[in-house]
Amino acid sequence: MPAFWLLNLTADEELRAPEGPRTPAGAEARMEALTELLLPLLGPNDKLFHGRPASDEERARGSWVGRAWMMTPRAIDTFKNMGIRPIKSPSMEVLRRVNSRKFAATLGIDLPGAAFVSNMDQLTDRLQDAPIGPHWLLRRPHGFSGRGRQRVDQGEMKPAAFAWSANAFREEGGLEIVPYVKPVKEAAIHGFIAEDGTVTLGEPTVQVVDAKGQWVESRRAEPGDLEDAECESLKTTAQSTADALRKAGYFGPFGIDGMRWRTGEHRGFAPRIDVNARYTMGWAIGMGDRRPDLAVE
């Protein structure tokens, strides 16, 4: 069935602040550039929504549906205003829960000392001892493209970091704290959860991000990119993540980000450092011709 696609790439910001601005300041140009790289998500007869309603002629061709990067309330309202029927999707409550780093932390973040903390006392206690290296990385529950994070040193926080953390506790109820490590190889795996619970997984991908943590490129993992054990770990973790998402009431596209890392003499592979209950930049690349999402109405 043909679809109009709304690539609302700042949807995570809507989860963080439903009444806030539609696009974070300064993000418009980057979002527009990324949109052009996401055309492989579209089916053969699909169209990209560019801010205009569907014409009577377009609606007459068949029962067009609306698909989005993430089916948030704003996306659904946009489709309804276009005269297009949005596909069935999880509630905002479910989207906010499963896209929060708190949810990912309950599944396990495979970095030494990683945790989700809900107040300043818990945070300062964690900061006293760094299991690997002298630095920590703090991340807000809802962030994307390198946003919403702060690097701090072991021990006492500087005033600016303290104020940033206090705002996160007040506005979002917590923070994820993970050791600051150097990525050696960044990887991901993607999948789709049907409403009946059926899970379809893609193949592992490797990705490149810049110094700010912003996505640059994804491609299918080739022989030598990842060790066999790392690929197997990604697939096993993706399946367990899908099970947890399904139990939480989520269905639709998802992906997990992992990485091979090192810090000094310490090194390892973390198959799940982020859970994305939505499409991602590498989703179509990893899924290839496995596209059960295009059949959803």
pLDDT in tens, 266-280: 899 999 999 999 999
- As a whole number of angstroms, the distance between CA 100 and CA 168 comes to 13
pTM, two decimals, is 0.90
Residue 98 maps to a domain: no
pLDDT band at residue 210 using 50, 70 and 90 as cut-offs: confident
Domain around 143 = 112-179
Q: Which of 130, 147, 179 is the last residue of a domain?
A: 179
Residue 290 shares a structural domain with residue 194: yes
**Tell me, what amino acid is at 276?**
N
Residue 71 shares a structural domain with residue 84: yes
Residue 127 shares a structural domain with residue 231: no
Q: What is the CATH number of the domain that holds 275?
A: 3.30.470.20
Q: What is the CATH number of the domain that holds 143?
A: 3.30.1490
Give tens-digit pLDDT for 67-79.
999 999 999 999 8
Query: Which pLDDT value is given to residue 25?
Result: 52
Residue 186 shares a structural domain with residue 253: yes
pLDDT band at residue 202 using 50, 70 and 90 as cut-offs: very high
Residue 151 maps to a domain: yes
Give the lowest-confidence range in 5-9, 17-21, 74-78.
Answer: 17-21
Q: Which of 124, 130, 117, 135 is nearest to 175 (CA)?
A: 117
Evaluate if residue 147 carries a pLDDT over 80.
Answer: no
Residue 96 maps to a domain: no
Residue 266 shares a structural domain with residue 213: yes
Instruction: Please measure the distance between the N-terminal and C-terminal CA atoms of the chain and give it in whole angstroms.
Output: 8
Number of domains the chain contains:
3
Residue 254 shares a structural domain with residue 283: yes
Residue 83 shares a structural domain with residue 159: no
Residue 106 maps to a domain: no
- As a whole number of angstroms, the distance between CA 236 and CA 230 comes to 10
Residue 171 shares a structural domain with residue 255: no
Q: How many helices (H) and strands (E) does the chain have?
A: 10, 14
Please give the angle made by the CA atoms of 92, 88 and 8, to the nearest 5 degrees.
60
Residue 155 shares a structural domain with residue 216: no
Query: Which pLDDT value is given to residue 265?
Result: 87
Evaluate if residue 52 carries a pLDDT over 70.
Answer: no
In sequence order, the β-bridge partners of residue 137 are 151, 178
- As a whole number of angstroms, the distance between CA 230 and CA 267 comes to 13
Residue 103 maps to a domain: no
